[in-house]
């Protein structure tokens, strides 16, 4: 070993120091990402509480669910002026269902709004 070459043991110790440094870097990055996730979850919780709408699992005992309308109208597509008439309990209505009265549902059907093919409000309303 007097020829000035680095011993195998010295090489392994250098490698170990580098791997220790890499592990510290990785653990630090994990802590940063975990902190970011906690902040994002806290932000989402604040936004939910600001909206005032508790999630289904957050509802308290005795709290009533919103009333299901008897009839509703739903915009069928993006950029189309057409609307589709539904019964209020129709599973195919989607999230955009607006509650309407029986008379408004009949008027919409007479004006040419198509009835939902699933819940068939025209049959239930007795519309022509």
| Pair 78, 47 in one domain | no
Give residue 29's domain range: 8-58
Q: CA-to-CA distance for 15 and 33, rounded, in angstroms?
A: 27
Q: How many CA atoms lie within 13 A of 74 on its CB side?
A: 23
Main-chain phi, psi angles of 120, to 5 degrees = 45, 65
Structural domain includes residue 66: no
The residue ranking higher by pLDDT, 82 or 2, is 82
Whether residue 63 is contained in a domain is answered as no
Total structural domains in the chain? 2
Q: Which residues pair with 58 in a beta bridge?
A: none
Q: Rounded distance, CA 123 to CA 55, Å?
A: 35
pLDDT in tens, 80-113: 667 788 888 887 776 777 888 888 888 888 888 8
Give the pLDDT score at 1.
Answer: 45
């Amino acid at each position: 070993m007097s020829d000035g070459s680095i011993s195998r043991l010295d090489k392994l110790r250098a490698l170990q120091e580098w791997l220790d440094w890499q592990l510290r870097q990785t653990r630090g990055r994990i802590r940063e990402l975990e902190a970011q996730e906690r902040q994002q979850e806290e932000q989402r919780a604040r936004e939910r509480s600001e909206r005032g709408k508790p999630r289904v699992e957050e509802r308290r005992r005795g709290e009533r669910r919103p009333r299901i309308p008897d009839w509703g109208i739903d915009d069928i597509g993006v950029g189309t002026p057409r609307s589709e008439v539904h019964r209020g309990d129709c599973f195919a209505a989607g999230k955009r269902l607006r509650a309407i009265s029986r008379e408004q549902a009949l008027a919409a059907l007479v004006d040419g709004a198509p009835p939902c093919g699933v819940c068939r409000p025209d049959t239930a309303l007795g519309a022509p």
